[in-house]
Amino acid sequence: MSGKRRRKLKSLVDTINDNKRLAIEVKNENLELQTWSDLPAELLELILSRLALDDNVRASVVCKRWHPVAIAVRIVNQSPWLMYFPKFGDLYEFYDPVQRKTYSVELTELSGSRVCYTKDGWLLLYRPRTHQVFFFNPFTREVIKLPRFEMTYQIVAFSCAPTSPGCVLFTVKHVSPTIVAISTCYPGATEWKTVNYQNRLPFVSSIWNKLVFCNGLFYCLSLTGWLGVFDPSERSWSVLSVPPPKCPENFFAKNWWKGKFMTEHNGDIIVIYTCSSENPILFKLDQSIMEWEEMRTLDGVTLFASFLSSHSRIDLPGMMRNSVYFSKVRFYGKRCISFSVDDYRYYPRKQCHDWGEQDPFENIWIEPPKDFSGFT
């Protein structure tokens, strides 16, 4: 090979190597120029959704891209926690669905009791052996005792925290298809007051009925879907002439009565019907025409459903909105089973959703205090 050709070949090789070095330098420079603002949207939303309110506000002013994402997932309301009652012992678990964390605490005060209802961070409990009824706050360990009362197959609810004025307890059980016995009590009372009421429509009570306090009234959904209403101020009772929500025939299968949940939101009564792996159906009571209407959207609301009491929340992380969270956790406590109304599917998809097979006294949603960060 002549010297001239060797020089040309060397020049070509040098050019190729220079181009490769230049490409590597440009690539490295581009990598160095990438910032946190270049994160994929899904990853950014996941990270920002885990931040507390103060940190979320700080993150929202980092850059223009972070601002709308931070606002979309900003937590300005506290999510309920799922409280598990052990079959044996006094060790109770609390699951936070936002942080996906589980806290354990020993509560010897609850020994021998079963949960009846929760509201405003308080538990209402009953000891079957002694007929003792009492309030308990698991976050402050405060106990408020109530007069003894024998509860057989009826359920019981209360209107607000027992430390608030006007707290009323309510329970109903049928004496006959057209007569119910309603018992009421309040913190500081020496006994329960029981009065029999006549129904125009049949009303049967059971442990599977649902109770909710809304706009000063107690609403009770019967086993067969009829709605009874009790006004504690007027001490009046009536069964509304509203036909039960209409469900497909396949919903009325084995244990269908166990797969019902009821809550309230902004004065509206909401009922959730489930059946095995079928998608849930949500109904809202249209009080202007007194009919149940099927809900196609939750308008940003998140529902938390459990057998004995259910809750509603707004302004939770974006991924939790327009969903129903059920009282069952999968994947070693890392994920709560939920149903997205927007996507019209369960998450995770391939799981057993037969709520009728679950023990109704196993767990319940409870509201932790806003300034509470964990058990110590």
Please report the pLDDT score of residue 54 as a whole number.
Answer: 65
Q: Which domain holds residue 133?
A: 112-241
Question: Given this model, what pLDDT does residue 50 score?
Answer: 72
Tell me the CATH number at 123: 2.120.10.80
Give the model's pLDDT for residue 344: 92
The end-to-end CA distance of the chain, in Å, is 82
Whether 352 and 263 share a structural domain: yes
Stronger pLDDT, 193 or 376, i.e. the higher one: 193
Task: Quote the distance between the C-alpha of residue 174 and its chain's center.
Answer: 30
Same domain for 323 and 260 = yes
pLDDT at residue number 348: 85
Q: How many domains does the chain have?
A: 3
Tell me whether residue 132 is in a domain. yes
pLDDT, tens digit, for every residue of 288-327?
A: 999 999 999 999 999 999 999 999 999 888 889 999 999 9
Residue 139: count of CB within 10 angstroms of its CB: 16
Within a domain: residue 288? yes
Same domain? For 131 and 58 the reply is no
63 in any annotated domain: yes
Residue 372 lies in a domain: no
Give the residue-averaged pLDDT of 345-370. Answer: 79
pTM: 0.80
- What pLDDT is recorded for position 309? 93
Average pLDDT, the chain: 85
206, 241, 276: which is the final residue of a domain? 241
Residue 10 belongs to a domain: no
Above 60 in pLDDT, residue 27?
no
98 domain residue, yes or no: no
Of the given ranges (187-196, 320-329, 333-342), which has the lowest mean pLDDT? 333-342
116 confidence band (pLDDT: 50, 70, 90): very high
Residue 331 and residue 268 share a domain: yes
Residue 218 shares a structural domain with residue 274: no
Same domain, 283 and 308: yes
Task: Enumerate the H helices of 205-358 as residue ranges.
Answer: none
48: its two tokens: 């920002």
pLDDT at position 95: 93
The mean pLDDT value for 201-221 works out to: 91
pLDDT of residue 246: 86
CB 354 within 8 A of CB 73: no
pLDDT at 274 over 70: yes
Residue 184, pLDDT score: 97
Q: Tell me if 117 sits within 8 A of 124, measured CB to CB.
A: yes
Question: Which amino acid, 50?
Answer: R
Q: In 90-235, at which residue ranges do the beta strands (DSSP E only) sit?
A: 91-96, 101-106, 114-119, 122-127, 132-137, 142-146, 156-158, 169-176, 179-185, 193-198, 210-214, 217-221, 227-231
